[in-house]
A and B are shown apart, each in its own frame.
Chain A
Amino acid sequence: MPITVRDLKPGIKPPPRQRNIASLVGGFVIAFGCFVLWLLVASQIVGGRPSAAIIAAGAAFAIAVGVWIRLADL
């Protein structure tokens, strides 16, 4: 988690980097949100229920985004 001004004290090193809990929760939230949006957009484009392949691609995309949010500690 990037620091705040309170972590900066003269002569003392900033604390070592550790991931924030917000990026963990946020990773799940954004993965779910991306998957829902993917399904909505896909159903609009194909004009009905999207195929299993499209749903699987959406799930893979959503997981990738969620994992990136965590790894990037956003």
Chain B
Amino acid sequence: MMTARQEAFRTAYRAQIAALYDGIVHVALIFLIGGAALWYCVQNIHAPTWLELLVIPIVVIFANVFEWFLHAQVMHRPRPGFMGIYKRHTLAHHQFFTEHEPFHDTTKDYRIVFFPPYAEIAFLVMASAMAYGVSLVWSTNAALILVASAAGMYMNYEFFHWCCHVRDDRIIKHIPFVNTIRRHHIAHHDTAIMMSRNMNLTYPFADWLFGTSDVQRGLLGTLLNGYETRFVRKDLPKVRSSADVTRPAVPAE
């Protein structure tokens, strides 16, 4: 159920979205850029060795820890030079979506669900810089696999995040990993734990590794937890927003 505060924020936020913004174009750009980078890299990989293919799981794990770090230390912490990211995430995204009402209504709301497409360009440039180093000391195949994997992980991130904020879960709730991250991320939108728990957006591996998951399970249990709430820690902090408390007209006896 949506609180009055959240409803007011949503109304004000939507009123500020530029008229020329289009959610479908936004999403199309993200997947067009990521898809083009992925396709180009794959086209130029020739007879990769098993050792070169090992770059894929390394990138997946590195990207997972990077996503965790960025979310915990930049998106939820006001760092000089990165205030725009903090404002956009903690002060806007987390006000628009709460654990009580975490779903978007229209494609205009994609403005606050997805990262701006230039974040993807920045991510691909970082991956390309690393890949250039890899190509110098190792092989071009490994470098291309690195960039392709990074592009894939970025699109994976955006898709999973959308799955967390879409209302209709008739299909999603049956898909392993997707159902896990959906419960995991919606729980993260609880203001009581948003600064400290459930920082992963793809697979809660780094949350398990660093002990920041809200569930107390082994690695496989954490990754495949789904909607299960039996394993949620009992010692999580709880807050009650005084702004939304409706005071009774007549004091209770």
Contact = CB atoms under 8 A, between A and B. Distances in A.
A19 B111 CA distance: 14
Nearest to B25: A68
Interface residues of B, number: 36
B16 A26 contact: no
Interface in A29-49: 29-30, 32-34, 37-38, 40-41, 44
For the complex of A and B, the 7 pairs showing the least CB-CB separation, nearest first, are: A4-B91, A33-B121, A26-B118, A72-B21, A2-B16, A5-B95, A73-B18
Interface stretch (B6-14, B68-76, B179-187, B207-215): B6-14
Interface string A50-74: 0000000000000001001101111
B152 interface: no
Contact of B117 (A19, A32, A69, A71): A69
Contacts of B92: 2-5
A6 B92 CA distance: 9
Nearest to B22: A72
* Interface core residue of B18, B22, B39, B84 (most chain A CB under 10 Å): B18
Given A6-B91, A40-B40, A41-B39, A17 B16 contact: yes
A15 B127 CA distance: 38
Interface stretch (B29-37, B55-63, B169-177, B222-230): B29-37
B8 A30 contact: no
B249 interface: no
Contact of B40 (A14, A32, A41, A71): A41
A2 B12 CA distance: 8
Interface in B113-159: 116-118, 121-122, 124-125
DSSP majority for the A interface? helix
B13 A26 contact: no
Interface residues of A, number: 34
* Interface core residue of A2, A26, A69 (most chain B CB under 10 Å): A2
A72 B24 CA distance: 12
B107 interface: no
A14 B91 contact: no
B9 A5 contact: yes
13 contacts: A2-B16, A14-B15, A17-B16, A17-B18, A32-B121, A33-B118, A37-B33, A38-B36, A69-B118, A72-B21, A72-B26, A74-B21, A74-B111
A29 B118 contact: yes
A6 to B, nearest CB: 6
Contact of B112 (A2, A5, A37): A2
B117 A74 contact: yes
Given A26-B118, A73-B21, A65 B36 contact: no
Given A22-B84, A40-B36, 4 more contacts: A26-B117, A29-B118, A30-B121, A71-B18
Contact of B44 (A32, A38, A44): A44
A33 B12 CA distance: 32
B77 interface: no
A10 B20 CA distance: 29
